[in-house]
Structure 1
Amino acid sequence: MQLHVANHPLIDHKMTLLRDERTPSPVFRELVAELVNLLTYEATRGLHVEDVQLRTPVSEMTGTRVREPLPLAVPIIRAGLGMLDGFLKLMPNCEVGFVGIRRNEETLQPETYAKRLPDNLAHRQCFVLDPMLATGGSLAATVQFLKDAGASEITAICLVAAPEGVELMQREFPEDDVHVLVAALDERLNDDGYIVPGLGDAGDRLYGVAV
């Protein structure tokens, strides 16, 4: 696994607003979309493309377009759904799969409750969307689902990561075909498994507390 920490003043500025506990849900959602848009630009540098011939109003030329099979975006429900619009703004033709994973609050281990992915992901580039890389269990499980279906190029886009989650991903996926792009690498996890300083529960801040 290769870790990439985004380094840009606009990302740092928006992350500061995102972290603030006073930021209301509507603004939080807007900031997430903007941050994912910026991170997607960086995450897709290695996108598979092909040449295409076209004519401009002046002359013939060779252009570039995204090559088929189209990439697959995989938000991890529920918080990952808040990242999908920002990703699709740059990749509108991308196909979308879903994985539903929740954390057992007693064991802090991931529990899968939903999965909708293509059976065959050979030669497909996959982009996993998950705001928080905390313990790493949810992201590792999703990446393994994709690899089991044949994916060999997987990039995870996260807003905040803890060193413990990064270490788990590096341990589980020592190969170079898994990339993790984060806006910020934070200090640690607390005893409840939350990232410090973090930004709280991303799902609750996006959508409120649903009980």
Structure 2
Amino acid sequence: MIVHDFSNKKSVLNQFISEMRDVSIQKDSMRFRKNIERIGEILSYEMSKTLNYKSQLVRTPLGEKEMRVPVNDLVVCSILRAALPFHNGILNFFDKAENAFISAFRHHPDGDDDFEVIVKYLASPSIENKTLILTDPMLATGKTLENVLKAFEKHGTPKQIHILSIIGAKPGIEYIKPIFPENTHLWIAAVDDTLNSRGYIVPGLGDAGDLAFGEKL
């Protein structure tokens, strides 16, 4: 796996991540969602530099100009529900991409720290020989991405996989490296060192889904 970690790079990403982490700012759910969308746009731009391009002649009112434009068949799949603003940010840059959505949630069968990730819903076009973009805002243990990859087995084999995340934990990144193809790219805005006993990123930012859309039962 090829990891593109922007944690230590000077950019406006740091401002958006700081606001998402700050307990006094993250109470503003609209701002929280907007920052997720902005980060989706920035990571999409960075990812676009690795895509395939072709030359295309464009006619202007005053002449013609040869331009290089991307030619990849993209499928953007977001893991519900925190990834919805992320998905919008990506579509702002890749407006011709196909779309997929998958539900994945943690289930604690005994009420303790141990959990399993359950996938119950997947709506997707064929991903055969296409570029699959998986969006998971919080890459914690990596088990969600593992189960999402398994769920896609019946939808074809992509020629390339890109994973876009906002914050990840080092253990989770290490966990998914052998699971995904070697040429998979991970684009991540920030990386934290540890997980707590329940598998949440520390210091992280809390539950991204709740902060974006409100608490659930």
Are residue 95 (structure 1) and residue 95 (structure 2) matched? no
Equivalent in the alignment of 1:37 = 41
* 1:92 counterpart letter in structure 2: D
Question: Within 5 A, what are the aligned runs for 1:10-49?
Answer: 10-22=12-24, 23=26, 24-49=28-53
- 1:204 pairs with 205, 210, 217, which one? 210
Does the 8 A contact of 1:73 with 1:127 survive in 2? yes
Shift of 1:141: 2.0
1:51 aligns with 2:55: yes
Give the counterpart letter for 1:97 in structure 2.
Answer: A
Offset, 1:147: 5.6
Q: Which residue of 2 aligns with 1:5?
A: 5
Does the CA-based 8 Å contact 1:128-1:155 persist in structure 2?
yes
In angstroms, what is the RMSD of aligned CA positions?
1.7
Equivalent residue runs for 1:58-69 within 5 Å: 58-67=62-71
The TM-score, its normalising length taken from structure 2, stands at: 0.89
Letter in 1 for 2:52: H
What's 1:150 paired with? 157
Distance 1:25 1:109 in 2: 28
Q: Which residue of 2 aligns with 1:192?
A: 198
TM-score normalised per structure 1: 0.91
Q: How far does residue 14 in structure 1 lie from its aligned partner after superposition? A: 1.2
Q: Find out whether 1:124 has 2:126 as its counterpart.
A: no
Deviation at 1:50, TM superposition (A): 2.2
Equivalent residues of 1:25, 1:205 under 8 A apart:
yes
Equivalent residue letter for 2:74: P
Query: Are 1:152 and 1:177, in contact at CA under 8 Å, matched by a contact in 2?
Result: no
1:116-168 per-position Cα deviation (integer Å, ceiling 9, x unaligned): 122x3222111111110000011122234446521131111100000111111
Q: Which residue in the other structure is 1:73 paired with?
A: 76
Structure 2: segments with no counterpart, 5+ residues: none
> What runs of 5+ residues in structure 1 fail to find an aligned partner?
none
Q: CA deviation at 1:73?
A: 0.5
- Alpha-carbon separation, structure 1, partners of 2:150 and 2:63: 47
Q: How many residues align?
A: 208
The separation in 1 between residues aligned to 2:22 and 2:58, in whole angstroms, is 48
Q: How far apart, in 2, do the equivalents of 1:73 and 1:36 lie?
A: 12
